[in-house]
């Protein structure tokens, strides 16, 4: 199974980016993860949507080539970051490569609630007309106090969180296999 990971943070030391790298390593025997960087994605511009810049074309191609998309988002001001919203805006236009493509959501933050509010907003966007991405219900991952659950290298060391991720990944794999 090929899953694109879109991380809603472009910060070099992003906990969410570290989570993506951890997932890619831990579950490599089950899922081929492709971490898609948003750093070079220009702002959405309706004037160029029919002939978008190369970075947009590549972004859409990588999403289209995936079987599903894992969105890993931090929470900025109780919502998703602007770079993530911008990426979703590009995906919702013209060829609409997300239409019907399964998604799942995770997020990590230093706060106790993880990314609950951001994920709620992201869920609404994924259900919008231009995207219409199915989500497996009750399979959310909110990692709060992430700075206490990762070591210096970004590896998760909190056993309850690791065990929960194993369950979530298994749930997602079962759901995806049932969709075939």
Q: pLDDT at residue 180 above 90?
A: no
| The two structure tokens encoding residue 101 | 């493509």
Q: Name the average pLDDT for the chain.
A: 96
Domain count along the chain? 1
The pLDDT-based confidence of 141 (bands split at 50, 70, 90) is very high
pLDDT at 9 over 90: yes
Q: How far apart are CA 52 and CA 58, in angstroms?
A: 10
Structure tokens at 4: 């694109």
Percentage of the chain modeled with pLDDT above 90: 96
Closest by CA position to 92, among listed 52, 58, 55, 130: 130
Q: Average of pLDDT values for 160-177?
A: 97
pTM equals 0.96
CB 49 within 8 A of CB 94: yes
Residues 19 and 143: their CA atoms lie apart, in Å, by 10
Tens-digit pLDDT profile for residues 58-100: 999 999 999 999 999 999 999 999 999 999 999 999 999 999 9
The parent domain of residue 145 ranges over: 2-178
DSSP string, 14-37: -HHHHHHHHHHHHTTTT-EEEEEP
Q: What's phi and psi for 114, nearest 5 deg?
A: 65, -130
pLDDT tens readout for residues 18-62: 999 999 999 999 999 999 999 999 999 999 999 999 999 999 999
Picking from 56, 37, 58, the residue whose alpha carbon sits closest to that of residue 47 is 56
Q: Residue 98's domain is classified under what CATH number?
A: 3.40.50.360
Rounded to whole angstroms, the Cα distance separating 115 from 128 reads 20
């Amino acid at each position: 199974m090929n899953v694109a990971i879109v991380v809603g943070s472009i910060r070099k030391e992003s906990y969410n980016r570290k989570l993506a790298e951890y997932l890619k390593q831990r579950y490599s025997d089950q899922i081929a993860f492709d971490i898609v960087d948003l750093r070079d994605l220009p702002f959405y511009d309706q004037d160029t949507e029919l002939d978008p810049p190369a970075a947009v074309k590549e972004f859409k191609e990588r999403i289209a080539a995936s079987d599903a998309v894992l969105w890993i988002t931090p929470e900025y001001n109780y919502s998703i970051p602007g770079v993530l919203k911008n990426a979703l805006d590009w995906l919702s236009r013209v060829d609409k490569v997300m239409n019907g493509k399964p998604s799942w959501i995770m997020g990590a933050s230093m706060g106790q609630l993880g990314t609950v509010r951001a994920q709620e907003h992201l869920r609404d966007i994924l259900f919008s007309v231009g995207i219409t991405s199915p989500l497996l219900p009750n399979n959310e991952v909110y990692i709060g106090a992430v700075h206490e659950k990762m070591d210096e290298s970004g590896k998760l060391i909190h056993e309850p969180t690791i065990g929960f991720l194993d369950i979530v990944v298994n749930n997602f794999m079962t759901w995806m296999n049932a969709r075939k």
